[in-house]
A = this chain, B = another copy of it.
């Protein structure tokens, strides 16, 4: 397609009548360059429409200025929301992001983490619970890793940026209890995050003298649907459901619908993550806001810090969680 060869730093140098190195200095905004040369070079750059070749740059500096973002399922809106804060912050410090949907990549063969390393990413942020623990372990010896919204893989000395899952789940559960619910079921999710949320739920229940009921589920809508369907079909069905995340909660919403249970009149449902799905007025899901933006921002900060600093200790940043009450929760039906 190219009309001519695309101009290189060498062409610019020739045109400006200077050396390659000088151009490089100007490009990098080095202060010790005479004004005359600087403008000459800048002119040449404009005239030729020069664009720096990041690939060559990366090879030379052994710095790609790219970070890998590993996530599980782009269809989970929480990931997408987080991505916004994450990439925006990374961009501002000159880092671009290489997104890898680990499920998709793995399916067509090839380890997602390996792919990132081959591309010489300067660091990796793992978003949410993924299934690449083994490879991440190895990767951690090569590049800094920060975990966003997950604790796994643990023990790598990576930084961890999460919300207060115990707190959030507690708030969700207590909200139901305060509304008068005594039969509240929890749809548990995967990973340590799943455990913490379960823990929050259990704590709230036992403090209220209620019996916890936990149903294992997943992080997708389907799994939420399946789990909720089972729970709600029972004769002693709960009057409230605290789900692992919004997706699962929406699955629960569907399950309720299919069983002819009205929400919130017959059954209350609480999600987690406060994604835009929850805000869709037509769903209007009560959900726990886990500070998605703040998480993305902090993860980006810490990663870039590690990339050009030498931070070695694993830090944990815990963003507060807060409940957002919408229209899927209310007092239980009087039986």
Give chain A's interface residues, CB within 8 Å of chain B: 1-3, 6, 51-56, 58-59, 64, 74-75, 77, 80-81, 83-84, 87-88, 91-92, 96-99, 101, 104-105, 107-110, 114-115, 117-120, 140-144, 221, 225, 250, 253-254, 257-258, 276, 280-283
Contact = CB atoms under 8 A, between A and B. Distances in A.
A225 B80 CA distance: 22
A52 B118 contact: yes
Nearest to A247: B280
In the complex, the count of this chain's copies comes to: 2
Contacts of A258: 281
B75 A280 contact: no
A88 B250 CA distance: 27
A114 B51 contact: yes
Contacts of A91: 104-105, 108-110
Given A59-B59, A74-B83, A253-B282, 18 more contacts: A2-B141, A51-B114, A51-B117, A54-B118, A54-B120, A55-B119, A74-B84, A75-B276, A80-B80, A87-B101, A87-B105, A91-B104, A91-B109, A91-B110, A99-B99, A254-B280, A254-B281, A254-B282
A56 B221 CA distance: 42
Contact of A80 (B53, B74, B276): B74
Nearest to A312: B1
A95 to B, nearest CB: 11
Contact of A250 (B1, B254, B282): B282
